[in-house]
């Protein structure tokens, strides 16, 4: 299991990132202080560091430079305010692997995290099958039986959540924060609207409404959730 250190001092964002990563099978540790982040990351305990720039104790760039100066090679994904992307690009030259501007959707962060870990040698998940439907994570196409369906970016984000968790009830809140981001209005009905769009593409009966709880992608028993890895 991949271990991720999250250095983020805004509790709402730290918890959003932590929940999302755990739901995707990662082990997480959170710190809200730059000095602690340096201490923790300067060990062999983590596979990747998600590093906020504005941290108390020691700022993210300084943590980054110090880790690289000490020869730590772990992948680092920087979280930065959208209006300081220029500074961040300077930070990348200082040894970060990637950055994600805030506010971000969880899906964006997850893609960066997966990409960085993959370079590290992990196999890439490319096709997830549930029943006769298959979602290709690389081409972002959905195949249902012999039919290939194009998805919009949001539909793909939603489909990916369902396909990664077949036969599980996903709440509106989970779907909203995962696909739309933590800044989205929780009173919005956008999830319901997009579930309708997705049903039209994947088959009406494939996504069940679980009253008062959320939605579930129905598999058909054995063989569902099968994952193909790129060779």
Provide the binding-site residues for Ca ion, judged by CB under 5 A.
9, 52, 54
Tell me how far, at minimum, the Cβ of 148 lies from Ca ion, in Å: 43
Residue of minimal Cβ distance to Ca ion = 54
Task: Give the SS3 label for residue 3.
Answer: strand
- Select 54 or 203, whichever has its Cβ closest to Ca ion: 54
- Total residue count of the chain as it appears in this document: 231
Tell me how far, at minimum, the Cβ of 20 lies from Ca ion, in Å: 18
Query: Which ranges in 100-189 belong to alpha helices (H)?
Result: 106-119, 153-164, 172-175
Count of CB atoms situated within 10 Å of the CB of 203 = 16
Tell me how far, at minimum, the Cβ of 93 lies from Ca ion, in Å: 21
Tell me how far, at minimum, the Cβ of 9 lies from Ca ion, in Å: 5
What does the alpha-carbon distance between residue 60 and residue 54 come to, in Å, rounded to a whole number? 6
Nearest alpha-carbon partner for 186 in 167, 205, 173, 170: 173
**Opening angle at CA 113, ends 109 and 115, nearest 5:** 115
- Select 11 or 145, whichever has its Cβ closest to Ca ion: 11
- Select 52 or 97, whichever has its Cβ closest to Ca ion: 52
- Select 9 or 108, whichever has its Cβ closest to Ca ion: 9
Tell me how far, at minimum, the Cβ of 81 lies from Ca ion, in Å: 9
Per the listing, tokens 């082990």 go with: 27
| Element of type H or E holding 125 | strand 125-130
- Select 18 or 52, whichever has its Cβ closest to Ca ion: 52
């Amino acid at each position: 299991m991949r271990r991720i250190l999250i250095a983020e001092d805004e509790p709402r964002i730290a918890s959003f990132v932590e929940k999302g990563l755990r739901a995707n099978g990662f082990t997480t540790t959170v710190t809200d202080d730059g000095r602690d982040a340096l201490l923790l990351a300067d060990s062999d305990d983590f596979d990747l560091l998600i590093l906020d720039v504005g941290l108390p104790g020691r700022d993210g760039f300084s943590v980054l430079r110090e880790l690289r100066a000490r020869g730590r090679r772990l992948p680092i994904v920087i979280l930065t305010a959208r209006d300081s992307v220029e500074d961040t690009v300077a930070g990348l030259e200082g040894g970060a692997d990637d950055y994600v501007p805030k506010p971000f959707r969880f899906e964006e962060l997850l893609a960066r995290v997966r990409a960085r870990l993959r370079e590290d040698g992990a196999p890439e998940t490319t096709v997830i099958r549930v029943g006769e439907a298959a979602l290709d994570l690389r081409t972002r196409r959905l195949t249902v039986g012999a039919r290939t369906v194009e998805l919009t970016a949001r539909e793909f984000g939603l489909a990916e959540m369902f396909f990664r968790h077949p036969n599980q009830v996903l709440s509106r809140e989970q779907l909203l924060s995962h696909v739309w981001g933590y800044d989205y209005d929780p009173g919005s009905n956008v999830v319901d609207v997009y579930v309708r769009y997705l049903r039209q593409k994947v088959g009406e009966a494939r996504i069940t409404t679980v009253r008062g709880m959320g939605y579930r992608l129905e598999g058909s028993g054995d063989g569902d959730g099968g994952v193909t890895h790129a060779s």
